[in-house]
């Protein structure tokens, strides 16, 4: 799972260009990998199948045909198996502590130990074959016929006076990419001006949102840490600003676990409905980060200073019931009736007079707007400093070292 504590700018400090479609996902020197990945698992179960060099070359060619990014865990497996198959056991010097990307790749290769080259070649071929098979057998998520054009990471529809924004990367647990940040901003701008009565944000699949995706931040090699931190803070500030300023009733339908930025902005929603299997986690301190999404102000106000501190400073994960008791969630529904109950209620809300709802929201929210914008600016300034600190770098490095171990 991608941790939300690494907000957009922090991610930019630590990642390189993602793999592009139609290019090899693995090679000796041409492939760059994002840093964040789950713990690697290299299985050594013997297979009854044997493969030769010709099959190995075919697998390399087939890998170029993948349309979907298989994720960092798989790419590191591919990298390690490729190196082991072509060069044998890892015998190169260990990269420096702050060379995050090469350190992750080195750890993945080193973890294979003395696995014979023939076995590594066979496992590489089997892994590629499984990826090709899985992609061909998996049906792509259907786009609703009334979905608005111009979006690829989210789906936006307007029906029954409701504009619905759906985070639509279910295979990646709806982790937020830079593109998704910008598409959500665009969708909020359009929803603010359309004829809908309410706007709803939800996720596709089992997760509401797993926080920030570390796999799609580009061109960092040519940019310095300071510039990357500044750009990340600016993107985050603009993103949160659109939630603060949204003029209509804004409702979150939390269909599963939520992490980081997807949790912190919930204090800016007017209603938050959650399934009983949802969880809420803001693990900032684990990575030397600080809160965002105006949560440093909204959380203490909603749940009290002690409980907010427990969540924002000490990484406490809340169940849906706990989040509801603390005021972060409006109401919790049984998972098996969640969608039916929530959308029946939302359709009833959407039948109310549009201008009356918008005017009433402004009366409730306007007094807070100036304060929220001030908090948003201060949080982003603090995060920008955090991202450039040695403490943050060391915390992130420690996190990735743990994740790279078997």
pLDDT single digits (tens) 268-325: 999 999 999 999 999 999 888 899 999 999 999 999 999 999 999 999 999 999 999 9
Query: What is the pLDDT averaged over residues 73-79?
Result: 85
- Residue 281 near residue 257, CB atoms below 8 Å: yes
How large is the angle between the packed helices 354-387 and 390-404, nearest 10 degrees?
A: 90
CA distance 322 to 314: 16
User: Burial code of 281-311, b = ≥16 C-beta within 10 A, e = fewer?
Assistant: bbbbebbbbbbbbbbbbbbbebbeeebbeeb
DSSP symbols for 196-252: -SEEEEEESSS-SB--B-SS-----TTS-HHHHHHHHHHHHHHHHHHHHS--S-EEE
pLDDT tens readout for residues 304-313 = 999 999 999 9
Q: pLDDT tens for residues 348-360? A: 999 999 999 999 9
154-389: CATH superfamily? 2-enoyl-CoA Hydratase; Chain A, domain 1 (3.90.226.10)
The pLDDT, as a whole number, for residue 216 is 37
Q: Tell me the C-alpha distance between 156 and 187, whole Å.
A: 7
The pLDDT value given to residue 320: 98
* Ranges for all domains in the chain classified under CATH 1.20.80.10: 8-139+400-404
For 105, the token pair is: 């790749």
pLDDT tens track for 321-350: 999 999 999 999 999 999 999 999 999 999
CATH topology of domain 8-139+400-404: Acyl-CoA Binding Protein (1.20.80)
Closest residue by Cα to residue 68 from 8, 153, 184: 153
Q: What is the location of CATH 3.90.226.10 in the chain?
A: 154-389
Predicted confidence band of residue 221 (pLDDT cuts 50, 70, 90): very low
What percent of the chain is predicted at pLDDT more than 70? 79
Interstrand relation of 154-159 and 162-167 (parallel, antiparallel or unpaired):
antiparallel
Model confidence at 218, pLDDT cuts 50, 70, 90, reads very low
Report the distance separating Cα 157 and Cα 27, nearest Å: 41
């Amino acid at each position: 799972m991608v941790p939300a504590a690494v907000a957009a700018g922090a991610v930019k400090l630590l990642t390189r260009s993602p793999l592009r479609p139609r290019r090899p996902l693995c090679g000796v020197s041409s492939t760059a990998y994002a840093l964040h990945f789950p713990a690697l698992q290299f299985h050594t179960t013997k297979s009854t199948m044997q493969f030769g060099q010709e099959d190995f070359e075919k697998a390399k060619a087939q890998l170029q045909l993948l349309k979907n990014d298989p994720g960092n865990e798989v790419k590191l497996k591919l990298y390690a198996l490729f190196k082991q198959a072509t060069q044998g056991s890892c015998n190169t010097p260990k990269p420096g502590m702050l060379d995050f990307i090469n350190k992750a790749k080195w750890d993945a290769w080193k973890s294979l130990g003395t696995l014979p080259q023939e076995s590594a070649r066979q496992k590489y071929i089997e892994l590629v074959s499984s990826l090709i098979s899985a992609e061909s057998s998996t049906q792509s998520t259907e786009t609703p016929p009334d979905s608005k054009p111009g979006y690829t990471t989210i789906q936006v529809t307007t029906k029954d006076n409701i504009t619905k924004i759906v985070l639509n990367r279910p295979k990646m647990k709806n982790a937020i990419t830079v593109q998704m940040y910008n598409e959500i901003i665009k969708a909020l701008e359009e929803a603010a001006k359309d004829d809908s009565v309410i706007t709803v944000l939800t996720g596709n699949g089992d997760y509401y949102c797993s926080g920030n995706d570390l796999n799609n931040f580009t061109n960092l090699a040519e940019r310095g840490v300071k510039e990357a931190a500044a750009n990340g803070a600016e993107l985050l500030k603009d993103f949160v600003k659109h939630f603060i300023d949204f003029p209509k009733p804004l409702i979150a339908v939390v269909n599963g676990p939520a992490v980081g930025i997807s949790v912190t902005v919930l204090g800016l929603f007017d209603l938050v409905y959650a399934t009983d299997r949802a969880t809420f986690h803001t693990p900032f301190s684990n990575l030397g980060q600080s809160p965002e999404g105006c949560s440093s102000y909204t959380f203490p106000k909603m749940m009290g200073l002690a409980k907010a501190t427990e969540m924002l400073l000490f990484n406490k994960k809340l169940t849906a019931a706990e989040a509801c008791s603390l005021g972060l969630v409006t109401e919790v529904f049984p998972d098996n009736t969640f969608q039916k109950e929530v959308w029946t209620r939302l359709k009833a809300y959407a039948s109310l007079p549009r201008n009356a709802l918008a005017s009433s929201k402004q009366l409730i929210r306007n007094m807070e707007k100036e304060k929220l914008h001030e908090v948003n600016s201060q949080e982003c300034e603090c995060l920008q400093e955090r991202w450039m600190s040695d403490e943050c770098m060391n915390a992130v490095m420690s996190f990735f070292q743990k994740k790279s171990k078997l």
